[in-house]
């Protein structure tokens, strides 16, 4: 009754209006992975291709049009802007940053691939990108002052109503990205921010997430005060067209009886999400519609973005076409597969090349997951080396006791199965070992032809990714060599003496007794 009397007095004396429902237009991207150009399953296409989707020229045109037609549009990105194409591998964020600057994002979170270059490129990018970076579960870094560029949440205002946006990223950044970040549990971090926002009278909560669709659903069920989750990480395409390949569900996905909406747009920017939602005065969603919009040729292309992409392509083509070597033989994957598993010619060949660069070490260990293609016989260009090893991992030297090395080798087979890829399985040079599939035993380990000694210290060449705890290996101190793994591969392949390599069968499966 008091509220009614107050409202009547307010209207009669002052012309006050009751709070109105809020309609928002939410535009979002995720897992763009430096796909500057449109692409399909066969690779990159030209900007004017009718058979391919995506590309920054189209995404930019779409975003700017939405912002022009609805200036109050909320534009968000759910992480993994880095890694995925040669554009990033060779030019890092030099062209990516000005392209992102053209899009009027309100906020973004971080994905695990933002940490592929051990924080240095991440700090370079986010310190210059004029978009708030949100990640409530990142506290600090032991290597770079990244936390000064990150906020747990932020408040924006639309039509007189305040909206809270909370960011959260995958705890796997320390495993997949090889970073050294202090993080807190996801639910705890988000719940803390929700309480802060609600204490300020904010009843509309959006979570900007890079934790996967499965985890988004769990989070929504655990914290029903969340209204919308804009997701990434799992490359899940939510779209209403049931004929679309790789569709994971309807757009938006509903949780908690429709009280929470989840949206996600696949990978690479082939689709951009557009969600329209209406909230009542209590912050409840009372109406919504939307879909993932295909970035096809009908979207158009922003001319400024086209110019930046053209400059990037020119630089890229000059680098990629360089001839590295003429191989008299091919180096492939494990027989019958398209990945490295147990004996792997291309994996062993890479390890051999690294050992040639640093003959002073006792052995080389490289994770199979880093090896992304085979090498055919004939002309090999830099582009093929880039496809083979697309990461800029520095080559480093670590020291392990024989006991520790055996634990490393055993860790590499922990998740091994006969018909699947095992990223952490170690390809080696100077080290031979056998393992059983069923009970995961490591046997017959030798170092440069001599049996492993448990108490002896061995100097091993590996990648900084492994040394920093990537693929869940124990983190180790290391000495930098001054070169990346790929630089060593290129350097050693240019030596004609290394063109032909006789397989030594360093990694073998043995039958259980």
Better-predicted residue by pLDDT, 422 or 138: 138
Report residue 174's pLDDT band, with 50, 70 and 90 as the boundaries. Answer: low
- pLDDT tens, residue by residue, 180-220: 678 899 999 999 999 999 999 999 999 999 999 999 999 99
Question: Residue 55's Cα: distance from chain center in Å?
Answer: 18
Least confident window among 13-27, 239-253, 437-451? 13-27
Q: Give the start-to-end residue ranges of the domains of the chain.
A: 19-316, 322-509
Residue 350: CB atoms within 10 A of its CB come to: 28
Region 53-73 average pLDDT:
98
Region 315-338 average pLDDT:
85
Q: Is the pLDDT of residue 164 over 80?
A: yes
Region 101-116 average pLDDT:
94
Region 402-406 average pLDDT:
97
Average pLDDT score, the chain: 90
Query: What number of residues does the chain have?
Result: 513
Region 504-512 average pLDDT:
85
Report residue 11's pLDDT band, with 50, 70 and 90 as the boundaries. Answer: very low
Least confident window among 96-100, 299-303, 379-383? 379-383
Confidence at residue 86, expressed as pLDDT on a 0 to 100 scale: 86
Confidence at residue 154, expressed as pLDDT on a 0 to 100 scale: 98
Confidence at residue 128, expressed as pLDDT on a 0 to 100 scale: 96
Confidence at residue 337, expressed as pLDDT on a 0 to 100 scale: 64
Region 419-431 average pLDDT:
87
Region 242-252 average pLDDT:
94
Kindly report the CATH class assigned to 322-509.
Answer: alpha beta
Residue 329: CB atoms within 10 A of its CB come to: 14
Q: Is the pLDDT of residue 119 over 90?
A: no
Residue carrying the six token digits 């035993």:
441
* CB-facing half-sphere around the CA of 420: CA atoms within 13 A: 9
- pLDDT tens, residue by residue, 462-507: 999 999 888 899 999 999 999 999 999 999 999 989 988 998 999 9
Q: Is the pLDDT of residue 229 over 80?
A: yes
Better-predicted residue by pLDDT, 390 or 315: 315
Q: Is the pLDDT of residue 391 over 90?
A: no
| Reported pTM | 0.74
- Please give the structure tokens belonging to residue 314: 């020119």
- pLDDT tens, residue by residue, 252-276: 999 999 999 999 999 999 999 999 9
Per-residue buried b or exposed e for 208-246, using 16+ beta carbons within 10 Å of the residue's own CB: bbbbbbebbbebbeebebbbbbbbbbbbbbbbeeeeeee
Region 274-302 average pLDDT:
98
Residue 123: CB atoms within 10 A of its CB come to: 18
Q: Is the pLDDT of residue 442 over 50?
A: yes
- pLDDT tens, residue by residue, 350-368: 999 999 999 999 999 999 9
Q: Is the pLDDT of residue 162 over 70?
A: yes
Identify the CATH homologous superfamily for domain 19-316: Metallo-dependent phosphatases (3.60.21.10)
Q: Is the pLDDT of residue 279 over 80?
A: yes
At 453 the three-state DSSP class reads: coil
Distance CA(230)–CA(362), nearest Å, equals 48
- Residue 411's φ and ψ, nearest 5 degrees, are -60, -35
Confidence at residue 101, expressed as pLDDT on a 0 to 100 scale: 98
Q: Is the pLDDT of residue 277 over 60?
A: yes
Work out the percent of the chain whose per-residue pLDDT is above 70.
91
Distance CA(187)–CA(226), nearest Å, equals 12
Question: SS3 breakdown of the chain: % helix, strand, coil, rounded to 5?
Answer: 30, 30, 40
Region 83-109 average pLDDT:
94
Query: Which among 377, 322, 325, 321 has a CA at the least distance from the CA of 346?
Result: 377
């Amino acid at each position: 009754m008091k509220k009614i009397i107050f409202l009547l007095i307010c209207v009669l004396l002052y012309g006050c209006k009751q709070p109105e429902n809020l309609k928002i237009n939410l535009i979002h991207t995720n897992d763009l992975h430096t796909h500057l150009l449109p692409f399909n399953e066969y690779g990159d296409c030209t900007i004017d291709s009718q058979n391919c989707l995506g590309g920054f020229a189209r995404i930019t045109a779409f975003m700017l049009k939405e912002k022009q037609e609805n200036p109050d549009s909320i534009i968000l990105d759910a992480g993994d802007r880095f890694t995925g194409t040669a554009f990033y591998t060779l030019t890092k964020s030099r062209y990516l940053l000005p392209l992102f600057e053209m899009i009027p994002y309100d906020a973004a979170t971080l994905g695990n691939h933002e940490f592929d270059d051990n924080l240095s490129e991440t700090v370079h990018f986010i310190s210059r990108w004029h978009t708030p970076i949100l990640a409530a579960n990142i506290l600090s870094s032991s290597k770079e002052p990244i936390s000064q560029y990150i906020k747990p949440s932020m408040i924006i205002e639309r039509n007189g109503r305040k909206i809270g946006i909370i960011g959260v990223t995958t705890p796997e950044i320390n495993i997949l990205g090889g970073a050294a970040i202090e993080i807190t549990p996801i639910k705890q971090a988000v719940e803390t921010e929700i309480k802060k926002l609600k204490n300020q009278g904010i009843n509309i909560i959006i979570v900007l997430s890079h934790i996967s669709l499965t985890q988004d659903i769990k989070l929504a069920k655990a914290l029903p005060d969340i209204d919308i989750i804009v997701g990434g990480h799992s490359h899940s395409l939510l779209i209403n067209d049931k004929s679309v390949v790789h569709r994971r569900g309807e757009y938006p996905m509903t949780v908690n009886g429709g009280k929470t909406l989840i949206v996600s747009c696949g990978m690479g920017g082939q689709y951009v999400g557009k969600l329209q939602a209406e909230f009542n005065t209590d912050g409840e969603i009372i109406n919504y519609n939307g879909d993932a919009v295909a970035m096809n040729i009908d979207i158009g292309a922003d001319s400024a973005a086209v110019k930046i992409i053209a400059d990037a392509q020119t630089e890229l083509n000059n680098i990629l076409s360089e001839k590295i070597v003429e191989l008299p033989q091919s180096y492939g994957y494990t027989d019958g597969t398209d990945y490295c598993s147990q004996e792997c010619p291309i994996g062993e060949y890479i390890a051999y090349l690294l050992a040639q660069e640093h003959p002073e070490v006792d052995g080389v260990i490289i994770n199979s997951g880093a090896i992304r293609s085979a090498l055919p016989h004939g002309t090999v260009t830099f582009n093929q080396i880039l496809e083979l090893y697309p990461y800029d991992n520095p080559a480093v030297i670590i020291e392990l006791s024989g006991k520790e090395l055996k634990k490393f080798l055993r860790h590499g087979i922990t998740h091994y199965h006969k018909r699947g890829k095992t990223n952490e399985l170690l390809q080696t040079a100077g080290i031979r070992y056998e393992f059983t599939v069923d009970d995961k035993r490591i046997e017959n380990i030798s170092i440069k032809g001599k049996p492993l000694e448990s108490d002896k210290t061995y100097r091993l060449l590996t990648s900084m990714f492994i040394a920093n705890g990537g693929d869940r290996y124990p983190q180790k101190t290391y000495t930098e060599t001054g070169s990346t793994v790929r630089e060593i591969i290129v350097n050693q392949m240019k030596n004609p003496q290394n063109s032909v390599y006789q397989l030594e069968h360093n990694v073998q499966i043995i039958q259980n007794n």
